[in-house]
Structure 1
């Protein structure tokens, strides 16, 4: 019935008017509600915050005043422990000022035993409270404390204790005075809990440890905080502020949390949203009734007006139906409003154009059939069910069957069965979604003995109203696929050969983008490119340097082909490789120029060269420089002497009594001694100095820009170190001393022989004077006597 009522445009217009009124009213209501809600929410939030702050501040103030008073009383109890115990009851009875501040007062000795209480009816005298946290904190920290809530020994009553330590004249802890506040009593804690926010809002006081001290909503005390409430859970972690949340029964509430300063407690002010926003709810109810009254008046008026306006449209519909059935041959009448007259004129124009289009379609069909007859590719026309209506000669030749056999048969019958499901699915998708289907399918020949690969494209023949069928174009690609397969196999063989090579082979474009790389090349790039590094920029992933500088993309683009260029490659992972690099240009100078790089790891060969070079300049036993390296360094140092502010110094060391070590202890012992002496020399000199074994038991040290004073001190240090070095073998101790010659290098020295002769002269003088000493031989033109140090 409702559907039938909405078939009338007049009824739809009435419904539209009602909808517009409702939507307009709802828009105004929603905007007003949002503005009102925002203002109410801000006022409610401010009110909740203010109450939470006032309560927290007043509670802090009350606790602080009680703590201060109790501490003042504790300070007035300064006396000996025996006097404190004997007078405990009298002292407590004198504190009448504290009786109205606490529910219970206690004097406790240093062992945690209650000595006196008020009122005495609690019967706690003699009880041991040494395990209570407030006693241990007050005794250990010697400071007043406010305890966490606990169950009192008197009937397990929930309470908190404010305690202050008592000291003797030596400031030694002798006990404490404590004031208990019962959480279920008539003290100020319950006064705060009875505070109301509006009619249903309440306050809750809890510790950060998760214990409720007072709850204005339920009256609960000493129960765990409801941690499923995220605001209370955050408050236990130190949160302070205002948030929206859910109460225990699931209703929305505004919660403001205020942390306390004196104790790790917080005050939570809770106000249900439904009460806070009640004025807005009453306004909305009044608005709804007003809206219903407006709709009740406007709907009948709109229905009458629209039905009068739509009457000419009904007459036009009847005349159009007569024209369609052929009863009417003249144009439809043009009457009514401007829109209705416009529709009538358009209909008359469309009918005239329709007659012209029908004639044109016949001409186009004849042209289409003439065009497809001479087309070199197969063309098939089907209806919406896939039945063939037309094929051209090229398709007949391709399939090997005449048009008469194909007419009215299904297009799918000519497709190789394994490909048929894919083809039918694509054809149906093209028909339903009005899009072009493309694919490669195998077609059956006349005798079903040969398969033909066809490149197929299907498009929908459609009018604006519906699909009429499809046009399918088929091109024979059998020979093309055979050629592609052969080329693909050749490419796979080439890639397989490159893949097993240990050399890295990669091809990049002029921008540095990698177009091909084998696995070895990707391994050189490191990081995440161990498997596939194509499409990354080679020069962004690798830094290439030759002996002189870093080589970039432009250096390779502008250079000729390179063969066996020795470089280092540092990849993005920080790995460094010694590379023998070959680079070839492909299509150089064109837009699609490529560069082919062949990377061979040359690290092993270079390490071998370095090893041979090191062995040629070092002593194999002591790992020190040999005579050849020593001479080369001495020549270099002599050449730099004129430019140095401090003179360079040469030290020659000749071991004393080394032959007896070899003869009596054996050559292995002698070798071990030489190694330890080499370590001693290396540990004594600078990193820039050169220590060499010149042969047998003779050593040399070159000290560039050292100065004679420092060299003399170093020579003496080495002499002492050599004398102190001993080796034990079979209960015997072996060692040597050193005769040392020291001389400066000057610009007047003609060569190494002259400098070495002076230092050698120093070792001879040392040996002639009894060995185990360092002799300085001055350089010419000095004529002073040799200095014995």
Structure 2
């Protein structure tokens, strides 16, 4: 509370602002300097670490190369027989003074892995079998000098690295090896590098790519596994070189530089904690903060004294304004102080003068408002801020049925029916609070008992910039309108009920194709489960008429449709034969609608197709009948003049069919006719026409067949018919055929001429003893 009161003073706020600006400016400068210095320090630290890691890796490589070359040189001078090597082993080792200074221990090992001699002899490794060691297996298999992986030596179980070279006899056969051991925790060249410190707490580490620590300057013993949880170390084991920021095992942020070695699959890691690397910039920031505190302590009191001197005239102005507002002062306020304070005083005096003028104008306007509302045809009510009626015009009196004297100083909410009163009060309050217009429909109580009046009510706040003055409410009697709306809703419900039970689909869409109404039958046609309103009608279906898809624009621009037969396909893959009716409603207007009536016409179309098929086919054999055969013959005759190969007409008459009917019965005869029909259909091409012309007579039209091929086909048919037999009650029944052939000529005047020639061929076949094929040539072209 004390802090809030202190900040209530403009002078104190100004002082706080000055101090805040100083602090923010200082912080910005500090942060910018910190970031720049940190970047520079980080670059220097990275460069320093990279140099140290590279130098250490290079020097380690040189040390290991020196020892490897020295061993290899000695091994080349030990060329002798196996027996000589075994007998002179101790003498040979004692002579290797140079190697004794380079290694912690020197060994001579035979080809089987047995230690022949050692130095110093106090290690007592002579006779030891080292054939299982990794370095022996490598050197005996590769026959080249090697530097081993770290291992635990047999001498005091200390970690060591073996540098070895193979020894050969005069025939270049492998007879053993000479090796020098370097203890990883001994007093040798490794100790020099590991004890090297970077800063105060930085350190060096050497490890193999296989994940074994060779040496560690932070107290981690040799042969410990590398911490693979560190991503930089994990990448270093895969050959990574470079400098990155990471975290050590204690979670501390560090800078790590990795350098791969060339002599062995090892890497050197130089580690420096970030807090130590960036320590100079931290000390600089601490000093800067102390300086900032001293500056603030010096500037704040001086700024407070100066700002209070500047704000003194403003306090005087405030006292005069308060007196003028309370009516204790009638003169304008004095104009003194700085430019801004004088400007405030002048504006206040101007506002007060304009306020007096506005109050006089409001009084005049109120008188005008009251005279205007008395003649208005709708109810107008003015209420104060508490909702009490101050004025009601005669139209409102007529709606309520009470005179103005009874309404004045009563609450406007009391005129609302009790069931709607709570919602009305809440709406009025919210509208007044939000300075918005409130609108609603409420039941109003009238003087007549039991009679309620529905009113469309709109309320707006009356207010000035200084305060709220009340509300103005407009009331319109809508009781009769609601009765008409209720009747319309009943009619609409009745219409929707009727449409819902219709089998025809009825739907209404707008000009964009969006469905505004659809009954259940229409939704089924559209293949939509549940409600299909607001879906796009033209996206749900495809309408095809006369082998052409109708577009949405054709429906919009075209005339009304009445009973048009179309095919409707929906997105679910269903297809319907539809009798379509389409009507335009309010055509050309913004709210234009299209009404579609969809009647399922599938049954009627199937019946038409059945009647059409029966009119052209024989019901017993399913072949074409004489009428369809004649139509096909006429068509073929019309094309005869354009064909290079002539068409052929074939008439087939059965022999001895009547005995089959008489002796086997009509059912057997019908069965025989059906089998013959199947035989004929199987014998001809799909483009050929096969028909039953009546009784036991058949006809075949062979378009563009040629007489020679037709005659061969006729012989085949004749033979197949003769071979066809039906067994019944131990008896065999069958028939033969007389076939007449003739070409269709361009000079034929009609089907009768061609039929007469083919029929003549049948008679000739019968006269020649039946079961024969006779060709009757067409007349020569005249």
**Equivalent runs, 1:321-470 vs 2, <5 Å:** 321-470=322-471
1:716 positional shift:
5.5
- What CA distance in whole angstroms lies between the structure 1 residues aligned with 2:589 and 2:541? 25
Which digits, 9 at most, give the CA deviation of each residue in 1:167-190, with x for residues without a partner? xxxxxxxxxxxxxxxxxxxxx987
- What CA distance in whole angstroms lies between the structure 2 residues aligned with 1:250 and 1:377? 81
TM-score when normalising by structure 2: 0.63
Which digits, 9 at most, give the CA deviation of each residue in 1:524-580, with x for residues without a partner? 4x13387444x6666666555554866666766777665544444555656554444
Residue 481 of structure 2: aligned partner: 480
Residues 34 and 281 in structure 2, CA contact (< 8 A), matched pair in contact too: no
- What CA distance in whole angstroms lies between the structure 2 residues aligned with 1:196 and 1:686? 95
- What CA distance in whole angstroms lies between the structure 1 residues aligned with 2:458 and 2:582? 45
> Aligned to 2:211, what secondary structure does the other structure show?
helix
- What CA distance in whole angstroms lies between the structure 2 residues aligned with 1:417 and 1:336? 61
**Equivalent runs, 1:257-276 vs 2, <5 Å:** none
Residue 650 of structure 1: aligned partner: 649
Provide closer, same or farther for how the CA distance between residues 540 and 321 of structure 1 changes in structure 2, counting only shifts above 3 A. Answer: same
Provide closer, same or farther for how the CA distance between residues 422 and 278 of structure 1 changes in structure 2, counting only shifts above 3 A. Answer: farther
Residues 647 and 705 in structure 1, CA contact (< 8 A), matched pair in contact too: yes
1:446 positional shift:
2.1
> Aligned to 2:649, what secondary structure does the other structure show?
strand
Residue 620 of structure 1: aligned partner: 619
Q: CA RMSD in A?
A: 5.4
TM-score when normalising by structure 1: 0.62
Residue 150 of structure 1: aligned partner: none
- What CA distance in whole angstroms lies between the structure 1 residues aligned with 2:776 and 2:253? 100
Residue 694 of structure 2: aligned partner: 695
Residue 528 of structure 2: aligned partner: 528
Residue 216 of structure 1: aligned partner: 227
Residues 441 and 456 in structure 1, CA contact (< 8 A), matched pair in contact too: yes
1:643 positional shift:
1.4
1:326 positional shift:
4.4
- What CA distance in whole angstroms lies between the structure 2 residues aligned with 1:738 and 1:42? 111
Residue 122 of structure 2: aligned partner: none
Flag the structure with larger Rg.
2
1:642 positional shift:
1.0
> Aligned to 2:650, what secondary structure does the other structure show?
strand
Residues 728 and 734 in structure 1, CA contact (< 8 A), matched pair in contact too: yes
**Equivalent runs, 1:26-425 vs 2, <5 Å:** 191-192=210-211, 194=213, 216-217=227-228, 287=285, 290=288, 293-294=291-292, 297-298=295-296, 300=300, 302-425=303-426
Residues 253 and 273 in structure 2, CA contact (< 8 A), matched pair in contact too: no
Residue 199 of structure 2: aligned partner: none
Provide closer, same or farther for how the CA distance between residues 282 and 198 of structure 1 changes in structure 2, counting only shifts above 3 A. Answer: farther
Residues 741 and 761 in structure 2, CA contact (< 8 A), matched pair in contact too: yes
Residue 750 of structure 1: aligned partner: 749
Provide closer, same or farther for how the CA distance between residues 350 and 295 of structure 1 changes in structure 2, counting only shifts above 3 A. Answer: farther
Residues 332 and 344 in structure 1, CA contact (< 8 A), matched pair in contact too: yes
- What CA distance in whole angstroms lies between the structure 1 residues aligned with 2:309 and 2:407? 60
Provide closer, same or farther for how the CA distance between residues 420 and 325 of structure 1 changes in structure 2, counting only shifts above 3 A. Answer: closer
Residues 527 and 574 in structure 2, CA contact (< 8 A), matched pair in contact too: no
Residue 636 of structure 2: aligned partner: 637
- What CA distance in whole angstroms lies between the structure 2 residues aligned with 1:676 and 1:293? 120
1:709 positional shift:
5.2
> Aligned to 1:440, what secondary structure does the other structure show?
strand
Provide closer, same or farther for how the CA distance between residues 320 and 562 of structure 1 changes in structure 2, counting only shifts above 3 A. Answer: closer
Which digits, 9 at most, give the CA deviation of each residue in 1:725-754, with x for residues without a partner? 666667777666655444432213333233
1:636 positional shift:
0.8
> Aligned to 1:192, what secondary structure does the other structure show?
coil
1:479 positional shift:
1.7
Which digits, 9 at most, give the CA deviation of each residue in 1:241-297, with x for residues without a partner? xx999999999999xxxxxxxxxxxxxxx999x978997898688557636743652
- What CA distance in whole angstroms lies between the structure 2 residues aligned with 1:198 and 1:463? 82
Provide closer, same or farther for how the CA distance between residues 549 and 21 of structure 1 changes in structure 2, counting only shifts above 3 A. Answer: same
Residue ranges of structure 1 left out of the alignment (5+ in a row): 52-92, 97-117, 122-187, 201-213, 220-228, 233-242, 255-269, 784-789
Which digits, 9 at most, give the CA deviation of each residue in 1:23-76, with x for residues without a partner? 56666788899999999999999x9xxx9xxxxxxxxxxxxxxxxxxxxxxxxx
Q: How many residue pairs get matched?
A: 606
Residue 14 of structure 2: aligned partner: 13
1:477 positional shift:
1.3
> Aligned to 1:699, what secondary structure does the other structure show?
strand
**Equivalent runs, 1:520-669 vs 2, <5 Å:** 520-524=521-525, 526-528=526-528, 531-533=531-533, 546-547=545-546, 563-570=562-569, 575-582=574-581, 598-655=597-654, 662=661, 666-669=665-668
- What CA distance in whole angstroms lies between the structure 1 residues aligned with 2:42 and 2:303? 41
- What CA distance in whole angstroms lies between the structure 2 residues aligned with 1:659 and 1:37? 120
1:457 positional shift:
0.8
> Aligned to 1:473, what secondary structure does the other structure show?
strand
Residue 489 of structure 1: aligned partner: 490
Residues 742 and 776 in structure 1, CA contact (< 8 A), matched pair in contact too: yes
Provide closer, same or farther for how the CA distance between residues 550 and 363 of structure 1 changes in structure 2, counting only shifts above 3 A. Answer: same
Which digits, 9 at most, give the CA deviation of each residue in 1:465-511, with x for residues without a partner? 44343222211111222222223333433443344443444556677
Provide closer, same or farther for how the CA distance between residues 340 and 715 of structure 1 changes in structure 2, counting only shifts above 3 A. Answer: farther
> Aligned to 1:461, what secondary structure does the other structure show?
strand
1:401 positional shift:
2.6
1:427 positional shift:
1.5
